[in-house]
A = this chain, B = another copy of it.
């Protein structure tokens, strides 16, 4: 049985006729992350790839900088816990994390909303380019891969891609978690990111944009809309935002020079 879903008995009402049937719901669990025996945060997430999620979160928030510092990552799925041990951790990250912790309407917190921080995360132009045909074909592939969404309708998907195909695909009740699961896997396996694109089925808030920039990824593709703040930060951070990629069309919000028409 897929641990990401749960079967429940519900009623469906169609045109005034009610029938009982068995439905699939996406699982949601509270996951508490401990860093060197210290409780850092509790996320609500879909219960898979919890190690990747914890590491991705800690890297994205600046708690961990180098893979060599990582000593152990241990997930307890039943208790909803991940314990991470490191030989070094950023004191600055720890002290600013609680203070600056920012939450969104749609997504968990990240730090830094200061221009200096954004400049520090400026993504260097590595020469990565994408064509319009590639953008639309990758989005189409992502929809085919959205297995949990097709089952439950309750998740967002995020994909790490090169120009030709999807390399890693993750689904979660939270857009931010799906992104952190990818960031964690890449950090743990040393997968280079400067030549990759990130693709999401969800909206692009400032937090998703900042996560993308921190991963060093210069092209972010969404099926949906970006916010004005995400677009402002993307201008500054050097990230191309492509939005509303559906059917045979898409919008380019920032740094259009990376996208060729065909």
Residues in B with CB closer than 8 Å to A12 are: 249-252
Do A13 and B105 form a contact, CB below 8 Å, given A26-B228, A228-B26? no
Q: Pick out which of these stretches binds chain B: A119-127, A170-178, A183-191.
A: A170-178
A52 beta carbon closer than 8 Å to chain B = no
Which residue from chain B places its CB closest to the CB of A8 in the assembled complex? B231
Q: Pick out which of these stretches binds chain B: A27-35, A64-72, A87-95.
A: A27-35
**Which of B99, B178, B203, B250 meets A105, CB within 8 Å?**
B178
Min C-beta distance of A228 to chain B, whole Å? 4
**Interface size classification for chain A:** 35 or more
- Tell me which residues from 13 to 28 in chain A have a Cβ below 8 Å from any Cβ of chain B: 13-18, 23, 25-28
Task: Tell whether, in the assembled complex, residue B152 and residue A225 are in contact, meaning their CB atoms are under 8 Å apart.
Answer: yes
**Which of B5, B16, B43, B100 meets A104, CB within 8 Å?**
B43
Which residue from chain B places its CB closest to the CB of A31 in the assembled complex? B102
Residues in B with CB closer than 8 Å to A251 are: 10-13, 23
Residues in B with CB closer than 8 Å to A206 are: 28, 44
Bound form: Cα–Cα A91–B44 in Å: 25
A49 beta carbon closer than 8 Å to chain B = no
Task: Tell whether, in the assembled complex, residue B26 and residue A173 are in contact, meaning their CB atoms are under 8 Å apart.
Answer: no
Copies of this chain, count: 2
Bound form: Cα–Cα A174–B29 in Å: 20
Which residue from chain B places its CB closest to the CB of A249 in the assembled complex? B14
Residues in B with CB closer than 8 Å to A177 are: 104-105
Task: Tell whether, in the assembled complex, residue B16 and residue A132 are in contact, meaning their CB atoms are under 8 Å apart.
Answer: yes
Which residue from chain B places its CB closest to the CB of A245 in the assembled complex? B13
Residues in B with CB closer than 8 Å to A46 are: 105
Bound form: Cα–Cα A177–B104 in Å: 8
**Which of B39, B100, B259 meets A13, CB within 8 Å?**
B259
| A75-106 vs B, Cβ < 8 Å mask (1 yes, 0 no) | 00000000000000000000000111111111
Min C-beta distance of A156 to chain B, whole Å? 7
Residues in B with CB closer than 8 Å to A14 are: 248-249
Bound form: Cα–Cα A153–B227 in Å: 10
Min C-beta distance of A98 to chain B, whole Å? 6
A229 beta carbon closer than 8 Å to chain B = yes
Please, could you name 11 A-B residue pairs with CB atoms under 8 Å apart, sorted by A? A5-B228, A10-B251, A12-B251, A18-B252, A25-B253, A26-B228, A28-B230, A42-B101, A44-B205, A105-B172, A154-B225
**Leading 3 A-B pairs by shortest Cβ distance:** A105-B174, A103-B108, A154-B225
